Chains A and B, each alone.
Chain A
Amino acid sequence: MSTEKDTRAPKAQQSHTIKKPETEGTIGGTISIEINEKKLTVPLGTTILDACKQNQIHVPTLCHHDDLCIAGVCRVCVVEVEGMRTLQASCAFPITAPIKVKTSTPEVRKARRHIIDLMLSEHYGECYSCIRNGNCELQSLAKEYGVDGYTFGHVDKPTYEIDNSSYSVIRDMSKCILCKRCVRTCIDLQEVGVLEAIDRGDKTHISTFLDKPLADVICINCGQCINRCPTAALRANDPSDEIWNAIDDPKKHVVIQTAPSPRAAIGEEFGLEAGNSMTYQLNTALKRIGFDAVFDTNFTADLTIMEEGTELLIRLKKALVDKDASVKLPQFTSCSPGWVKYLEHFYPEYIDNLSSAKSPQQMFGALIKTYYAEKIGVDPADVVSVAVMPCSAKKFECNRPEMTDSGFKDVDFGLTTREAAKMIKEAGIYLPEMPKTHFDSPFGDASGAGLIFGATGGVMEAAIRTVVELVLGVKVEDLFEQGNIIPVRGFEGIKYVELPLGDKVGPVPDILKSLVPNWDWLKGATLKVAVVHGTANAKKVMDDIKAGGKFSECHFIEFMACPGGCLGGGGQPIPTTLEIRQKRAKAIYDEDMSLDVRKSHENKHVLKIYEEFLKDGPCGHLSHKLLHTHYTKRGKYMA
């Protein structure tokens, strides 16, 4: 009866992660209980908290998070279970007997109030000077329980020094209330394991290996911990002041690219339901706050598909035709900087499997300070390039020393969705009211293929749409209804798909003629691909590859560091739940369907750039200089 999960989560939390019973029969039928004297029937094993939620009974929570394993440490969700001497944490109590629960007795209310008062007594800072003001779970709880003073005092000095060593994540442990969501995120959800509680008693705090600054440990910058922190103990490294300075400097030409995921989510920062795409309103808002041009990151996503797809075809040809044993397959995507750093730390021996193609953000950065600067006649030294990303790791990525192929820092600032919203609000703009405008030339609007990069499976779908058409010479719509590659979509952690190419291949398109004479060598081949999101899933796949399992037979694998892909990134609006991520995904796929151009190789601006600038084609000389990069074997031991 092995019930262990393959995870590094602390046993105290892991061994009783309670699976949500999908159906009544899942784990042995149902049971009748009473909550607040109301008779209810729930599936056996349901937690008291879930039973309450399902029956519209509100129980406050703090350490609980739907994405994470159970902790039961904050004790805010305590309830009375008849016959038990002590109150029980409803989040951690699986119902296995016909219990009677009361969620609001005088003892329960008093206990909750005490617990909130205790947390406030050690939580440094004032709400009005806090980045999470208005979106803080501790603040909400204090309000819910009518806290109007500090019953047990309040710290008047910070207890810990702020760790701002990382380009991506800032840790302000004076605001930490030790809910351990970040620990569970890092160890269990992402299986990176940078954060853990150290010391005990009143000295307990969340720390890193040997209390080192975050920049000096194996943090992958995914920022998932930020998204799940109930307070502002964790936040992204915000460059907005520097960006304002650039905007206010008349000498500077400040451009901004927007990625698809922030557009699908930024409405949430303005009080909209998740799943409202703000693509064209955002263009207007960004122009109004002073950016000189707004570009669509999807353009370079299309370019990524051209470069990365070509690279894949070259690798396949070398392996299959030239029998070159040095070629590394499967090829891994490289557009998620969290994933790239994860691989560099945990599986450095596989960095040659990473596509050398830069991420869309960095490709754009290199083009803006070369092609674009030349085109508009501005000194690239005066161009300031900003990227609105759903991501905290993008901040690290743009600061990588190798990302200077334009001769300058290719991308100056990575801005999260939250920070972009902050800047827009600061400028007095209510985003949802903005008129819709298009992206600026010369890059213009991009294809739906670039757009769906925002969701897990999107890069793979975009690549399949292009590779199928370029190689087989048929319309992808003939093979997949409306060109939607459904098997690679969805939030399943690891997806594996086989695509038999059949016996008919098409002519080699002009753009690739210098690379391959014909496609005959792909006749009858089956393309094996996989889609993986969340580094915990990546770990499973990498271990399988190491062991020579089925994923080692794959040709191409899409990896995204964050659960759900970019739309669930560490720079996205807080909170995050599966439901919210699903709504963002729907917004992205719906927008894809609304576009006329839905394949990267049909993006006429992309084709134009190969005609005008990258004249020797995908993976050609100039492409290699500007659009490709290399990686660093970091390993787990850092000096």
Chain B
Amino acid sequence: METTVISKATKRTGPVLFADYKRGDGIKKALQMGRDNVLLEVRESKLKGRGGAGFPTATKWMLTAAATCPEKFLVCNADEGEPGTFKDRVLLLEYPELVFDGMVIGGYTIGAKQGIVYLRGEYEYMLKSLEDYLEQMRKDNLLGKNILGVEGFDYDITIRLGAGAYICGEETALIESLEGHRGESRNRPPYPVNTGYNGRPTSVNNVETLASIPHIMMRGGEWFATMGTDKSTGSKLFSISGDCGKPGVYELRWGATIRDILKLVDAQDTKAVQVGGASGVCLPESQFDRQLSYEDTSTGGSIMIFNKNRNMLSILKNFMEFFVEESCGQCTPCRIGNVKLLEGVEMIEKNEFTFEYIRNLKELGKTMQIASKCGLGQSSPNSFISILENFKDEIFNTNRNGGSK
């Protein structure tokens, strides 16, 4: 296979991830500090999971570290599958030193000997270069036995390819997939920090979360926590796409408003912004002053911009078609619920609906949010509920005559 040559064509800039960093420095620092101090530093940074769920990283690591089992794993979730998200791709292609150093530090902290990158199947093209990078790390004793001379710290990283299922970005389904099983989420509790890969304590962290770690090592948790808002510290990569002049991956401090973003990427005549991908919420102009943060509109980084020419119903239909196909099919609310929501959208499209039935479907959506087995089904109705609520005038009135039959 042809190797993709990775080059930083344009120099990116940002406060944390896109700042300067020299490979291995974070690992050296962490090894000097010792496990407990690494944990304290990460706790001080208040770093939260960047995949979207926002679980405090220090807590996850402490729980994994505290589990009494000789074998533990650190898994890097690189199954970047949320529609409209492409920031992990940038990190892996352009900043592999951050991701892999973060994985070494994490493995050291929780006591794992093995790190696993679960790489999205569609990213197979970068596999060779990532493998080469790991090989170089082994040569430089940043992986392998007695890393950087620390007696007994043996750690290596392997890369495993996914097969293209969206559900496998959910951490327990990812673990199932790693074990060679059908990608289906597990019941929780027990959580992966106790019973994860092969039944062993496992910390599953997003690419971006891990990439933040080396900088936190180098510059301290306190420094990290000065950025952003009270509950959302540090910076975030946003994958911005849609109707704008300058789409791309941007690193911003938490707390920016939607309006800030639209300005930054030169978006005109914006009607709606989908925050958090297909599983996120769709905001109308009246809510553009809302903040991007865990406490307001939480997101794994996907921002999709739609201008006044877009048809909100067809956007919703697209999202629902996605979920109908990508539900793992395991639990009833998600497997059949998404089909019913999609059918509802099609009914509106054909103008063959009753408002009572649409209300029923919204209630069904709320049930799906609380009764589905995992995050997929719990978040799949978000678009349906928010688009029908925030754009009801367009959907039910414009070019339509009320639509009840």
Name A's B-contacting residues (CB within 8 A). 1, 3-4, 10-12, 15-16, 70, 72-76, 78, 85-87, 89, 92-94, 96, 107, 110-111, 114-115, 118-119, 121-122, 151-153, 177-178, 196-197, 199-204
Chain A residues closer than 8 Å to B329, beta-carbon distance? 178, 197, 199-204
Q: What class of interface size applies to chain B in its complex with A?
A: 35 or more
Most B Cβ at <10 Å: residue of A94, A114, A196: A114
Partner of A10, one of B182, B199, B336, B343: B182
B371 at the interface (CB under 8 A from A): yes
A12 engages B325 (CB within 8 Å): no
If A15-B199, A89-B373 touch, whether A201 touches B324 (CB-CB below 8 Å) is yes
Chain A's nearest CB lies how many Å from the CB of B348? Answer: 16
A75 engages B187 (CB within 8 Å): no
A86-B375 Cα distance, complex, nearest whole Å: 10
Total A-B pairs, Cβ < 8 A:
143
A201 engages B327 (CB within 8 Å): yes
Complex: chain B residue closest to A205, CB-CB: B329
Chain A's nearest CB lies how many Å from the CB of B165? Answer: 7
Chain A residues closer than 8 Å to B360, beta-carbon distance? 151-152
**Per-position 1/0 for B183-200, Cβ under 8 A of A:** 111110110000100010
Given pairs A115-B367, A199-B329, 16 additional interface contacts (CB within 8 A): A11-B175, A15-B195, A73-B373, A85-B370, A86-B370, A111-B333, A114-B363, A118-B337, A119-B332, A200-B165, A200-B327, A201-B324, A201-B325, A201-B328, A202-B336, A202-B338
Chain B residues closer than 8 Å to A72, beta-carbon distance? 187, 331, 373
Partner of B370, one of A16, A111, A119, A196: A111
B339 at the interface (CB under 8 A from A): yes
Complex: chain B residue closest to A113, CB-CB: B367
Chain A's nearest CB lies how many Å from the CB of B196? Answer: 9
B176 at the interface (CB under 8 A from A): yes
B184 engages A12 (CB within 8 Å): yes
Complex: chain B residue closest to A76, CB-CB: B332
Chain A's nearest CB lies how many Å from the CB of B139? Answer: 35
**Sample of 10 A–B contacts (CB below 8 Å):** A73-B331, A94-B190, A96-B189, A111-B371, A115-B371, A152-B364, A177-B332, A200-B327, A201-B329, A202-B329
B172 at the interface (CB under 8 A from A): yes
B335 engages A16 (CB within 8 Å): no
Name B's A-contacting residues (CB within 8 A). 68-69, 165, 167, 172, 175-176, 179, 181-187, 189-190, 195, 199, 323-333, 335-340, 343, 360, 363-364, 367, 369-373, 378
Partner of B364, one of A16, A78, A114: A114
A438-B335 Cα distance, complex, nearest whole Å: 55
A107-B336 Cα distance, complex, nearest whole Å: 19
Chain B residues closer than 8 Å to A10, beta-carbon distance? 176, 181-182, 184
A200-B323 Cα distance, complex, nearest whole Å: 11
A159-B179 Cα distance, complex, nearest whole Å: 32
B339 engages A1 (CB within 8 Å): no
Chain B residues closer than 8 Å to A122, beta-carbon distance? 336
Complex: chain B residue closest to A86, CB-CB: B370
B331 engages A16 (CB within 8 Å): no
Chain B residues closer than 8 Å to A89, beta-carbon distance? 187, 373
Kindly list the 10 A-B residue pairs having the minimum CB-CB distance in the complex, ordered from nearest. Answer: A204-B329, A92-B187, A118-B336, A111-B371, A114-B367, A72-B187, A201-B327, A12-B186, A111-B367, A201-B325
A178-B327 Cα distance, complex, nearest whole Å: 14
Chain A's nearest CB lies how many Å from the CB of B10? Answer: 38
A499-B190 Cα distance, complex, nearest whole Å: 46
A16 engages B186 (CB within 8 Å): yes
Partner of A12, one of B185, B326, B337, B338: B185
Chain B residues closer than 8 Å to A107, beta-carbon distance? 367, 370
A203-B338 Cα distance, complex, nearest whole Å: 12
Chain B residues closer than 8 Å to A92, beta-carbon distance? 187
B181 engages A201 (CB within 8 Å): no
Partner of A110, one of B175, B184, B363: B363
